[in-house]
Amino acid sequence: MERMIELVALLNRYNQEYYEEDNPSVSDAEYDALYDELLALEKQYFVLPDSPTRRVGGRTQKGFATVTHRERLYSLDKSKTKEGIVEWMDKVMAESGRFVPLTLEYKYDGLTLNLTYEKGHFVRAVTRGDGTTGEDVTAQAMTIRDIPRTIPFGGSVDIQGECIMRLSALKAYNETAAVPLKNARNAAAGGIRNTDVEEAAKRHLSFMAYNVGHVEGATFATQSEMHRFLQQNGFCRDQYFRLVQNGDDWKRWLDEVETIDRPKLDYLIDGMVFKVDDLALREELGVTAKFPKWAIAYKFHAEEVTSRVLDVVWQVSRTGKLNPLAVLDPVDIGGVSVSRATLSNISEIKRKDIRIGSDVFVRRSGDVIPEILGIARHNADSVEVEAPAVCPACGAPTVQKGVFVYCTNPEHCAPRVVAAIEHFASKDAMDIDGLSVKTIEQMYNDLGLRRADELYDLTKERLLTLDGFKDKKASNLLASIEKSKTTTLSRFITALAIPNVGKRTAEQMADAFGSIEGIEGATRLELMSLDDFGQVMADSVVDYFASADNRDFVASLLRKGVRIEQDTHPVEGVFANEVVVLTGALSRYKRSEAAALIKERGGKVADSVSAKVTLVVAGADAGSKLAKAEKLQIKVIDEAEFVRMLGID
């Protein structure tokens, strides 16, 4: 569990560097190795609420105006095998009760853009951002020649697609560039997210449209109709688009694209995308926190090369666990320089017989994830990897528990302390703006900061002793710290970093118990009665508050002026105390809109029918959820009754 918490914190930091600061400290390969490790752990255990696997992208970048998307933009679930695609297809068919046509398209490797047209004129381009808000990059997008300035359609429409840099354009750019661009994907993203519009123009970027988002003045029943609409308006005229009917032709198509078409393309693709063609069925299938259930990406097979292990370094996590990382002789795989690969634990290192100085097979799964498959050969100077006897960060002795190695001084080991304070100050927790990892490290080293509650003891005089701090910066940080003193119960619980507890579970506890005292005194059985709470989560909460040190930390925060306000949730309304499931197609509202209306009126919305559900809203062609509701004798209403309850004319 500690590894999952550590991966979430690390990946969220890398996301900030990549999406928000345009200054990644690790390669795509290293990031995706950690991401895949987290996905594997989540399949085995559960998904933490603040996991990056729930997020679509990153926050918006400072320097660009932010724009709220009219419809949320989602990322895609993925499968590396045809068997995984078959499993997804089976779920879709089971939900619909029949075989439904699917569409098949290229998965472009670039930067997602959302283009807005009003009355036939191009007015705005926005990055995907976090899926809800993105960056206004209209000026940069205006340099892309294949984005039409006008289109025949006279209504209001959002066109979604991928900004890419063609390989021929990348080659031409690098022939004269003082600093060559490393790969086409990063070149496209860097060009669009560069405030220098001239730089975007120099890269001769392209745009591949694949979806119609918000639209007024037209309706579509299928994605095939959307595709024809895009073609009629000057987009995707020669792009790959196939309809998958009953049968296994799609398997052959995947192989043909990967082995024959892909090497000939003048741009990067890293897979293929399957989508349900029927838009009404998409509404029925719904979405998760990050992925639509009606689409999936097939990731192409990994490339495989050999490299030499130069070293194995051990990184200290927030919980004191030491995680091994292989340092490789840099090798180019698919246009990306791979120099590091994650190693699970000392047992895995021994099992694969990985040694420093040996040559190993390295694979980037799905074109991005570095993985050591095994040994190619040992060399004369190869040496076995041993677990460190002392912590590389603080020098304290280590202890091995099972397959993992831990620092015996986690409460005072610098990386652990810095990570804990970083989490405390994060946006979903106490939301202290301006408290970067670098600043926390300065406070640790120069001010002796050891616990997050000590942030509330800081003064301007002390901050001004730190390198880089002037009067304004110190004042702004102190103002942000002071502002954080007024918070909600769910944010306060999130900030405590209770193992296995994140934003969503903190909100559930806040709703159920109403106060920090109520949560402190909650029993395991009371906690396990909450939705999505199992014994592991309940034990984590009970064990956290059983610790005298943790109780002292909470009390210290309250003594220093932290004020906990009630989370604001509607408690009155026509759907108060109702747990509602939406099924079938509604003619008046999209499912997301209907869900929002229910929540605004005091109700909760569930994805599946269970004994806890009190009401089912059944639209047209309702399927298995309606049948289950009837079997459980749950109240069912149609769309007309639903609209009447909303009280909207």
189 SS3 class: helix
Name the one residue in this structure whose structure tokens are 């301006």: 434
Helices marked H in 485-586: 489-495, 503-513, 516-520, 524-528, 535-546, 548-559
Contacts of 262 (CB under 8 A, 6+ apart): 269, 300
Which long-range contacts (C-beta less than 8 Å, at least 24 apart) are formed by 260-267?
262/300, 265/167, 266/166, 266/167, 266/168, 267/108, 267/109, 267/110, 267/164, 267/165, 267/166, 267/167, 267/184, 267/206, 267/208
* Relative orientation angle of helices 414-424 and 2-15, to the nearest 10 degrees: 70
Residues in the chain: 649
3-state secondary structure of 128: coil
Report whether 75 contacts 290 (CB < 8 A). Answer: yes
Active site residues: 107
Exposed / middle / buried, residue 337 (Cβ in 10 Å: 0-12, 13-18, 19+): middle
- Decide: helix, strand or coil at residue 112: strand
For residue 535, which phi and psi values (nearest 5 degrees)? -65, -35
Is 309 strand, coil or helix? Answer: strand
Cβ–Cβ under 8 Å, residues 232 and 275: no
CA distances from 220 to 213, 223, 468 (A): 11, 7, 56
What distance lies between CA 45 and its chain's CA centroid? Answer: 18
Q: Which helix (H) or strand (E) holds 273?
A: strand 269-276
- CB 616, CB 583: distance < 8 Å: yes
- Residues 6 or more apart from 479 whose CB is under 8 A from it? none
**For residues 294 and 102, what is the distance between their CA atoms, to the nearest angstrom?**
9
> What's the rounded Cα separation, in Å, for the pair 355 and 460?
50
* Nearby residues of 507 by Cβ (< 8 Å), 6 or more positions away: 490, 567
Closest CA to 189 of 111, 128, 125, 270: 111
CA dist 125 to 24, 110, 141, 188, 215, Å? 24, 15, 6, 15, 15
